[in-house]
Amino acid sequence: RLDELQVALQVYEGPVRDLARSTAAADVSATEIYVESTANGVVLSAIADGQYVREVVRTDRWDREGGPISNDVAIETVTTAYPETAALRQPNAFGAGSVQRVTIPHEFGTLRAFVSGGTEQVFVEHQRIDLSTFPDTETVTESGDGFTVTVDRSYGGGPVTVTVRDEETGEPVPNVTVTKSVGDADSVAIGATDDDGVVRTISPVVTYRVTVVDEPRVVVVDGLDPLATPQPAAAEDE
């Protein structure tokens, strides 16, 4: 009974929500948090401590009155939904009753999925992925005004890495301001590049632009389209 209660309570927790609470309490510095909601769920994501952190909740896949689900069925469900992640390390399940928590700690981060009895589907997903190994990106490069700007774009709500280098030497350029904007909206500062010439942000779900500003020099990378959001394998078949 204690296992069942513990897992049931964890459904209402998550790494991005924890980060939001810590930010609100001023325990950590302010960070950008992405929020997307629909009638059936919500997606939250952020960048923190060198990792991309993501939560997904799908209420349409959660049967609150569902019957018990076994560890083996929950592991099979997660292995089917996330075959590439499950191939990295054997999943382990914990729980009792109508909800099982399946965890896959692997070399690139951690996947934690909650599986519902009744539907036998993943209805909550928590992911942590090291930014240095994040797989779902495509690169766009623009040069001008002495800069070479590389944007590693990803899906809406995913991490975007902007790298600024000297156009002639190829050396990283620190302490230059980078902004992003959508449509006719005002540009929003992402931040200043670090010693590696890098600054990161979260991708919008629509076409956007990134601007590098070091007065009087300006480089604009326009027409950046987000990639398609990867879906669990089971969801693609529905």
Among residues 138, 136, 141, 112, the alpha carbon closest in space to that of 125 is found at 112
Report how far apart the first and last C-alpha atoms of the chain are (Å, whole number). 33
AA letter at 140: V
**HSE (side-chain half, CA atoms, 13 Å) at 123:** 23
pLDDT of residue 238: 44
- d(C-alpha 29, C-alpha 2), whole Å: 35
pTM for the predicted model, two decimal places: 0.87
Rg (CA), the chain: 20
Q: What is the total residue count of the chain? A: 238
**HSE (side-chain half, CA atoms, 13 Å) at 159:** 24
Q: Is the pLDDT reported for residue 56 higher than 90?
A: yes
CATH 1.10.150, domain 138-224, yes or no: no
pLDDT of residue 37: 94
pLDDT per residue over 11-24, tens digit each?
888 999 888 888 77
What is the mean predicted confidence (pLDDT) over 215-230? 94
pLDDT per residue over 158-201, tens digit each?
999 999 999 999 999 999 999 999 988 999 999 999 999 999 99
Contact 44, 16 (CB under 8 A): yes
pLDDT per residue over 105-116, tens digit each?
999 999 999 999
Contact 70, 85 (CB under 8 A): no
